[in-house]
């Protein structure tokens, strides 16, 4: 699923078995802790609000969410977490951006390098890949989950009126793209129109997608899954066409 994180797609496709759930909780806790450094009230901290939404998507208990936020605000003792970002080429020269949160940058760098090497990928210097992507707000809507009766055309009209910059359909799933600064406004506008939103986030969206044969696609999927299994990796973006 191009246009947003492969990590989200992996979770959506596989569901959350116990081991996956534990890993998802760990990643959500880190994201909440980092986000809460900007303030513990989601009404005034949109990054925290999105992190809380993502934690709820994986059914993270409210107590866990609260503790992670308190670690971020300093009310509870926490580790020294930092955000990291890596750029790489995968199989077939597919461009990849890997974002993570870690308490040890060098360890995570070594682990990511090893995963890439094992899956015919390679790390590249900062800026070598990022120019191929742009930062966008992404709202995901599942047409089948709407409480009001809508057709594809109806939903398209609603999201365009709400301020969408671009849209992409994946069967009955609609990806809505916005300018980063307008994500919150578009999301609120859609909610006011009784549209049920699956998720909203700031993502790296490829400027142009690249096509690949099935062998390359399969190799990339294996790489994405291996990266996603690393505890420090939060999101994986690529320019691989669906």
d(CA 10, CA 27): 14
Task: Render pLDDT for 25-52 as a digit per residue (tens, 0 to 9).
Answer: 999 999 999 999 999 999 999 999 999 9
Q: Is the pLDDT of residue 218 over 60?
A: yes
Question: For 73-119, what is each residue's pLDDT tens digit?
Answer: 999 987 789 999 999 999 999 999 999 999 999 999 999 999 999 99
Q: What is the model's pTM?
A: 0.87
Topology annotation, domain 133-206: Alpha-Beta Plaits (3.30.70)
pLDDT of residue 1: 38
Distance between CA 168 and CA 3 in Å, rounded?
9
pLDDT at 63: 96
The CATH code for residues 6-73 is 1.10.10.200
Q: List the structure tokens of 73.
A: 């605000």
pLDDT at 17: 59
What whole-number distance in Å separates Cα of residue 67 and Cα of residue 84?
23
Q: What residue ranges of the chain are covered by domains with CATH 1.10.10.200?
A: 6-73
Q: Does domain 82-131+208-238 match CATH 3.40.50.800?
A: no
Residue 229 CB partners (closer than 8 Å, separation 6+): 23
Per the rule left: phi > 0, alpha: psi between -120 and 50, beta: everything else, 92 is left
Task: pLDDT band for 191, please (50, 70, 90 cuts).
Answer: very high
Residues forming CATH 3.30.70.980 domain(s) in the chain: 82-131+208-238, 133-206
pLDDT of residue 135: 94
For 220-235, write each residue's pLDDT tens digit.
999 999 999 999 999 9
Extract the tokens encoding 20. Answer: 């996956």
Token readout for 33 is: 């802790």
């Amino acid at each position: 699923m191009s246009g947003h994180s492969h990590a989200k797609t992996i979770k959506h496709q596989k569901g959350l078995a116990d081991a996956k759930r534990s890993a998802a909780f760990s990643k959500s806790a880190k994201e909440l802790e980092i986000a809460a450094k900007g303030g513990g009230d989601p009404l005034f901290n949109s990054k925290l609000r999105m992190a809380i939404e993502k934690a709820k998507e994986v059914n993270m208990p409210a107590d866990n969410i609260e503790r992670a936020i308190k670690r971020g605000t300093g009310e509870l003792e926490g580790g020294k977490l930092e955000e990291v970002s890596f750029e790489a080429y995968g199989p077939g020269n597919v461009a990849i951006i890997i974002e993570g949160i870690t308490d040890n940058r060098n360890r995570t760098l070594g682990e990511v390098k090893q995963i890439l090497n094992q899956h015919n990928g390679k790390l590249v210097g900062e800026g070598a890949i990022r120019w191929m992507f742009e930062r966008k707000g992404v709202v995901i809507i599942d047409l089948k989950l709407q409480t009001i009766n809508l057709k594809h055309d109806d939903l398209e009209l609603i999201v365009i009126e709400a301020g969408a910059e671009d849209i992409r359909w994946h069967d009955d799933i609609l990806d809505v793209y916005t300018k980063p600064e307008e994500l919150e406004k578009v999301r609120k506008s859609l909610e006011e129109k009784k549209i049920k939103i699956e998720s909203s986030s700031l993502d790296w969206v490829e400027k142009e997608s690249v096509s690949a044969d099935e062998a390359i696609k399969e190799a990339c999927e294996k790489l994405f899954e291996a990266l996603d299994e690393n505890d420090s990796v939060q999101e994986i973006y690529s320019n691989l066409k669906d």
